[in-house]
Amino acid sequence: MNEFWSRYARNRSAVMGLGILVLVIFMAAIASLIFPDDPFRLAGIPLSVPGANGFFLGSDTLGRDVASGIAHGAKTSLLIGLVATFAAVFIGIIFGAFSGYYGGLVDDILMRITEIFQTIPSFVFAILLVAIMKPSIESIVIAITVVSWPGVARLVRGEFLSLKNREFVQACHTIGMSDMRIIVREILPNCLSPIIVVGSLMVATAILIESGLAFLGLGDPNIMSWGFQIGAGRTMLRSAWWVCTFPGIAILVTVLAINLVGEGLNDALNPRLREGN
């Protein structure tokens, strides 16, 4: 663990990213304490400039507190990012593991299915799915999952292809281990590092997709999110810049932080780099 941390800490920006990310998580965790009211509440005078009328970051066209929206929106963004990523990684591992391990016809079938999903531009596909299912937090998570898993499947398949002929796997075969056990207990743990790295970056992509959907009006209308704030404020960008600027900064900073963390994890976990050092 110590060794892992020292390798991670070697990347300064990754440490900074982690710091920001912890801050964002902290903000999401205490959102209900600092802003106990519903972020949709009409808290005061509409279109107050930042600092005026008790609004630290200003208020939007209906008098909703932008700061409160950002704090509560952090919860939504992180939640959607994490849930969608876990679901996508789970599906991706199943597809990738089976096709990489068994090869042949199984590989052909599973990879053709994966390719079908890969050939459709992911954001357009996500819009389509949400529009069909009606915008809600569930449909958004499903849409992000559906467009994100093929990348993981490809990666896992590649790892499995390279690992399945190694000596330790062949040793497992000779002592009569079941396929399932070899996949889950032997090969999978050995390809966790790249999966973690890809997964962490995927959280950032998921947050971006969610914001994009909400911006286009396909967010859950009953849940505060950063994308919703930007979408609701964009018509008055020129007369009330603060309504979408602050949520925009929040998205930028969070996505950047997650990317930096992902890079740090890559440095810390990537065995080739480890040997190089």
Partner 1 sequence: MKTLLKSCVLAISLLLGAISAQAQKSGGTLVFLVQPEPPSLAAYVSTSGPIGLVAPKVYEGLFDYDNDGKIVHVLAESHAVSADGKTVTFNLRKGVTWHDGKPFTSADVQFAIMNVLSKVHPRGPNTFSEVESIDTPDAHTAVLNLKKPAPYMLRALSAYESPMVPKHLLEGTDIKSAKLGNKPVGTGPFKFVEWKKGQYIRLDKNENYWRKGLPYLDKIVGRFIPDASTRTAAMENGEVLYGAYGAIPNIDAVRLKKRDDISVTTDGYSMINPMALIEFNTKKGAFVDAAVRKAISLAINREFLIKNIWFGYGKPATSALTSNFSATGLHAAMPNFPAKGDTAAANAVLDAAGFKRNSDGVRMTAVLDLIPYGEDWRRAGEYLKQAMGDIGIKLDLRYEDVPTWLRRIYHKYDFAMNVNYFYQLPDPVLGVHRHYGTNMIRKGTHFVNSSRYSNAALDKLLAAGMIEPDATKRSAIYKDVQKILAEDMPVVNLFELQFLTVYNTKLKGAYGSALGAYGSFAEAWIDD
* Residues at the site binding partner 1, with contacts judged by CB under 8 A: 38, 40-42, 46-47, 61-63, 131, 134-135, 217, 221-222, 232, 234-239
Residue 217: Cβ within 10 Å count: 12
Residue number, 238 or 272, with CB nearest to partner 1: 238
Q: What is the nearest approach in angstroms of partner 1 to the Cβ of residue 224? A: 10
Q: In angstroms, how far is the first alpha carbon of the chain from the final one? A: 17
Beta-bridge partner residues of 65 = 59
Residue number, 44 or 103, with CB nearest to partner 1: 44
Beta-bridge partner residues of 59 = 65
Q: What is the nearest approach in angstroms of partner 1 to the Cβ of residue 221? A: 4
Q: What is the nearest approach in angstroms of partner 1 to the Cβ of residue 231? A: 8
Q: What is the nearest approach in angstroms of partner 1 to the Cβ of residue 216? A: 8
Q: How far is Cα 40 from Cα 223, in angstroms, rounded to an integer? A: 9
Q: Which amino acid is at 239?
A: S
Residue number, 229 or 259, with CB nearest to partner 1: 229
At 26 the three-state DSSP class reads helix
Residue number, 173 or 234, with CB nearest to partner 1: 234
> Residue 59: what are its φ and ψ, rounded to 5°?
-130, 160
Residue number, 2 or 239, with CB nearest to partner 1: 239
> Residue 35: what are its φ and ψ, rounded to 5°?
-120, 80
Q: What is the nearest approach in angstroms of partner 1 to the Cβ of residue 250? A: 20
Q: Are 262 and 252 in contact (CB under 8 A)?
A: no
Q: How far is Cα 203 from Cα 63, in angstroms, rounded to an integer? A: 31
Q: Which amino acid is at 201?
A: L
Residue number, 69 or 262, with CB nearest to partner 1: 69
Q: Which amino acid is at 253?
A: V
Of 43, 47, 16, which is closest to residue 232 (Cα–Cα)?
Answer: 47
Of 158, 156, 128, 155, which is closest to residue 143 (Cα–Cα)?
Answer: 128
Residue number, 194 or 231, with CB nearest to partner 1: 231
> Residue 65: what are its φ and ψ, rounded to 5°?
-75, 120
Q: What is the nearest approach in angstroms of partner 1 to the Cβ of residue 269? A: 42
Q: What is the nearest approach in angstroms of partner 1 to the Cβ of residue 191? A: 43
